[in-house]
Amino acid sequence: MFSDALAKVTLPEAPGSYQFFDAKGEVIYVGKAKSIAKRVASYRRASDYKTTRLLTEVADIQCTVTGSEVEALLLEAKLIRQHQPKYNITLKGGERYAYIQVTNEPFPRLVTTRQPKPGDRVFGPYTSGEARVQAIHLANTLFKLRVCKRLPKRPCLLYHMKLCSAPCIGNITKDAYARNVKQAERLLRGDVPPLVDDLTREMREYAAQQEYEQAKLRRDQVRALQRIGNEPGAKLRQAYDQDVVNFSAAGAKVVVQVFHVNRGIISRRREFTLRRTLPQSDAAMLADFLTQYYYAEDIPGEVIVPIAAERQPVVANYLSQAAGRKVRITVPKQGEKLRLLELLAENIAVSLKAGDSALLELQEKLRLPRLPRVIECVDISNLGPTNAVGSLVFFRDGKPDKNEYRRFKVRTVAGQSDYDAMKEVIGRRFRRLLADRAALPDLLLVDGGKPQLSAAVSVFRELGLQQPVAALAKRREELYTTDSQYPLRIARTSPALKLVQRVRNEAHRFAIGYQRLLRGKDLRAQLKF
C-alpha cells in the first residue's frame, strides 16, 4: 500500500512535515524532515518489523512545506498533538496555560480556568498543576476564603478549623471579605514583601486597639508568608528557570522524568512512560520528547539533558522561537548540573524498582504540592484518663524507616482528650524540626477524623507553617483534608488508600506497644512497693 500511496503524490525537496493516513483516512504517523522527498523515500529501505507494519497500513501521504526545519518541528508537534497518531510518541494531557481565576460572586472563590474571558480576574499562567494547587491552598488558608460552590445554610468543618471566614452565616461582611480577596490577589501577583509590611502594620494597630483575635490572625499570616521560599530543599545558584530531563530505556519502554528548577529551587518532578512504536535512537527519542513536551508546557531558559538530542541546534532553535527568547540545551560534564542529572537518575531507578503508583495517586487525590516521599503519621493511645502516649512513624518512599520513629509521653493534658494530646505531640515534633532546621515531611497523616485534623491545623497556624496534612478516620476509612468541607473516599482497592492504611496501622501498633511498656513499668513499680 505504501508504494501505491507514494506513486500518487509528488513530494517536494523542501523542509516540512508529512503525514501517513490509513484506509479509514486517519492519521497514523506524522514526521518532519529537512527534505520531505528524501525522508519519505528512505522508508522503501526499511527492514525492521515495526516500520514494515506501519508501511502496510499507509493508504495516503500528505505533506506541508515549511520555511525551515524549525517550522517543520513546530508543525509536527502541533499535528501530533491534534491527531495523536498511534505510531508516534505522544504525551497526553497537560493542556497549556492554566490560570487561577477570582470568581465574580458576592463572596468570590479561587478556581482554575483554562479559557479566561475578557474581564475575568486571572493570575498565571501556571504550567505546574502542583504550583497552582499550592497557590490556591495558601491563599485560601491565609485569608480564609470560601471553597464551597454554593453557600451552605450552616458552617462547615473548615469554619470550625478556622480556615474559612464563613460568609454563609454572615460571620463576615462583604467589605471585609473583599479586603481578604484583595490580599489574596496581592499574594498571587507575588507582592509578598509589601503584603507582609501591610499585615504587620495591621497587626500592631489591632493590638493597640486590644483586638487581640484579629492581631493574632495577622501575626499568623505574617509568619506563614515569611516562611515562603525558606523551607529546606535543594538549591542552585542560577537566577533563571531550568528543566532537568533524564530517562531510562529498557527496549521499547522509556521512563522520562523532568525536574523543574524555578529561580534556583527544585519545585517539582514529573514522570512519563513512553513506548517506542518504531525503531529509534535515544537521541531521536529525546528530541521527539522535547518537542512534544514543550508544545504543551512553558519553556525555561535552559534544558539540561544527559545526551545530545538528535539535531540539537534545530531543537534549541525551535524552543527559542516558541518561547520568544534564547533557550539553551545543555549536556553537562561536571558540576551541579551533572549532579542534578544523577539525582534524577536515582529517582528513576527508585520509580522503576519500587513503583511510585501509590505515591503519585496519593499526591493527586490530596492535591499535594509535591510527591509525598516522606510521610509522618501521629497516633494517640490512652487507657482512660491515664497513660496517654503518642507515637510518630516515618515512611520514606512508601517504606518504614524505624530509625526515625519517635515516642511521646503526653505531659500537659489532664484527663482524656485526644484533641489536646494530638496538639501537644504535633507541636513538640514540629517545633523540634524547626529548631533543628530539619526538612519537614511531604505529608503529615493523623489517625482520626475532624477533631484530630483540626488539632494539627491549629498547631501549624501557631507556627506559621503551610504543612500538608490529612486525617484518616477508621470507621469508613475516609480522608479529611483542609481543602474540602467533605471527607474524601478512595476506592478500597486503591494503592494510595492501602498505603495510608499501612502507615496509620503502623503508628497505631507503635503507640500501643509504648503504652504497654509503660503499663508494665507501672505494674512492676507497684509490686516492688
Residue 20 lies in a domain: yes
Residue 89 lies in a domain: no
Does 207 lie in the same domain as 111?
Answer: yes
Does 461 lie in the same domain as 380?
Answer: yes
**C-alpha angle with apex 171: 170 to 176, nearest 5 degrees?**
95
Per-residue exposure over 261-270, b if at least 16 CB sit within 10 Å of its own CB, e if not: beebebbbbb
C-alpha cell at 130: 502542583
Question: What's the pLDDT at 126?
Answer: 62
Does 154 lie in the same domain as 285?
Answer: no
Does 217 lie in the same domain as 191?
Answer: yes
Q: Which of 168, 193, 227 is the last residue of a domain?
A: 227
Q: Which of 57, 83, 109 is the last residue of a domain?
A: 83
Reported as type and span, the H/E element at residue 61 is strand 60-65
pLDDT in tens, 56-103: 888 888 888 887 888 788 788 778 877 888 888 766 443 444 678 899
Residue 276, domain CATH: 3.30.420
Does 65 lie in the same domain as 10?
Answer: yes
Describe the crossing of helices 69-83 and 282-293 by its angle, rounded to 10 degrees.
70
Q: Which of 299, 323, 354 is the last residue of a domain?
A: 354
Reported as type and span, the H/E element at residue 321 is helix 312-323
Describe the crossing of helices 192-208 and 174-189 by its angle, rounded to 10 degrees.
150
Give yes or no for a contact between 110 and 136, defined as CB atoms under 8 angstroms apart. yes
Residue 294 lies in a domain: yes
Does 374 lie in the same domain as 522?
Answer: yes
The separation between the first and the last C-alpha atoms of the chain, rounded to the nearest angstrom, is: 97
d(CA 130, CA 296): 16
pLDDT beyond 60 at 15: yes
Question: What's the pLDDT at 5?
Answer: 67
- Does residue 70 or residue 145 have the better pLDDT? 145
Lowest mean pLDDT among 270-274, 312-316, 416-420: 270-274
What is the residue range of 167's domain? 98-227
Classify 490 as helix, strand or coil.
coil
Residue 26, domain CATH: 3.40.1440.10
The count of domains in the chain is: 4
Question: What's the pLDDT at 240?
Answer: 53
| Torsion sign across C-alpha atoms 418, 505, 434, 231 | negative
Beta bridge partners of 383: 386
| Bridge pairing between strands 242-250 and 302-304 | parallel
Residue 91 lies in a domain: no
Number of alpha helices (DSSP H) and beta strands (DSSP E) in the chain: 16, 18
Does 465 lie in the same domain as 426?
Answer: yes
Question: What's the pLDDT at 526?
Answer: 52
Beta bridge partners of 381: 389
Residue 437 lies in a domain: yes
Question: What's the pLDDT at 373?
Answer: 83
pLDDT beyond 80 at 277: no
Residue 383, domain CATH: 3.30.420.340
Beta-strand (E) ranges in 114-217?
A: 121-126
Residue 236 lies in a domain: no
**pTM of the full predicted structure?**
0.48
Give yes or no for a contact between 466 and 224, defined as CB atoms under 8 angstroms apart. yes
Mean pLDDT of 379-401: 84
Does 369 lie in the same domain as 330?
Answer: no
Mean pLDDT of 148-156: 82
Q: Which amino acid is at 60?
A: D
d(CA 99, CA 113): 5
Give yes or no for a contact between 412 and 434, defined as CB atoms under 8 angstroms apart. no
pLDDT in tens, 447-477: 988 889 999 999 998 888 889 999 998 878 8
Mean pLDDT of 114-133: 70
Q: Name the residue with cell 502507615.
A: 503
pLDDT in tens, 209-238: 888 877 887 887 787 777 654 443 334 334
Does 255 lie in the same domain as 194?
Answer: no
Lowest mean pLDDT among 19-33, 86-100, 178-192, 250-264: 86-100
CA 494 vs CA 81, 158, 291, 359: distances in Å: 31, 26, 34, 11
pLDDT beyond 80 at 264: no
Residue 237 lies in a domain: no
Question: What's the pLDDT at 353?
Answer: 53
Give yes or no for a contact between 138 and 110, defined as CB atoms under 8 angstroms apart. no
Does 468 lie in the same domain as 327?
Answer: no
Does 523 lie in the same domain as 374?
Answer: yes
Residue 441 lies in a domain: yes
Does 190 lie in the same domain as 53?
Answer: no
